Copies of this chain bind each other. A is one copy, B any other.
Amino acid sequence: MATDGLAIERRDATLDVTVDHGDQNLFSVAMVNELSDEVRSAADEPGLRFVRLRSRGAVFCLGREGASREAPPPPRAVRAVAASIAGLNELLQTTPLVVVVEVQGDAAGFGAGLVGNADVAVAAQGARFSFPEILTGYAPTIVIGWLTRTVPRKRAFEMVATGAWVDGETALSDGLITEVVPGARLEARVDERITELAALDATALRDTKTFLSRTRAMDPASAAGASIDSLVLAVAGDGA
């Protein structure tokens, strides 16, 4: 692991990613790309089933470096950065690995995107969430691209158009996160969750994640049809 700011190691079935990159844990473009590369290759490693994302310090992640209006970069550079971020968000949703984030403090912008696109997000009490992109002068289109599929529309508008912080209880009732626990319980609670998921049949859990993303955009009747095929394949594969 060569990228400054990210410590990545394999522990049992888990790709364990720890962010440690200054007071705000801002992601550089290199960190975004490194994280994508690691998640993508981990999905092909037979023993790996989980991605655990966590941070050191007072905040989880307040965004990415250079996300300001000063000196707008050339279009080609903007496209590269936007594609990296949108691509990582999609990858977190579509990888067969289960993505668990451990949110020990505030998450904003790109950091809140990691939370929103994970499968499981456990947050410490007091952690808050915001999408402040619009305050830098641009529409947060990358956030809008996925947020309206995660929280109700008026709540999504509120977040992206004001950049306001929402507390954990609101994020929980909106569906942005899975659970709020006392800070002292955070790491142990994520351990418990991964242990619980690790006890399940590995193929079944992988299929669950895959089927969730594969049917994201299907109409209901097609999703029902696909569910039959998927179950038959799973059981037939088992008996073969």
Contact = CB atoms under 8 A, between A and B. Distances in A.
A3 interface: no
A175 B153 CA distance: 7
Interface string A145-186: 110111111111110111000000000011111100000000
B149 A234 contact: no
Interface residues of A, number: 81
A182 to B, nearest CB: 19
Closest 3 CB pairs of A and B: A152-B175, A217-B219, A139-B207
Nearest to A161: B208
Contact of A154 (B78, B121, B135, B216): B121
A156 B212 contact: yes
Given A78-B236, A224-B90, A176 B201 contact: no
B227 A141 contact: yes
B177 A154 contact: yes
Interface stretch (A12-20, A30-38, A57-65, A67-75): A67-75
A56 B221 CA distance: 31
- Greatest chain B CB density within 10 A among A72, A93, A155 is at A72
Interface string A95-132: 00010000000000000000000011100000000000
B157 A119 contact: yes
Nearest to A142: B227
A79 B227 CA distance: 10
B72 A227 contact: no
A57 to B, nearest CB: 25
Interface stretch (A21-29, A39-47, A81-89): A81-89
A120 B157 contact: yes
A194 to B, nearest CB: 11
Nearest to A76: B232
- Greatest chain B CB density within 10 A among A162, A209, A216, A232 is at A232
Contacts of A8: none
6 contacts: A86-B227, A120-B158, A134-B200, A138-B201, A138-B204, A161-B197
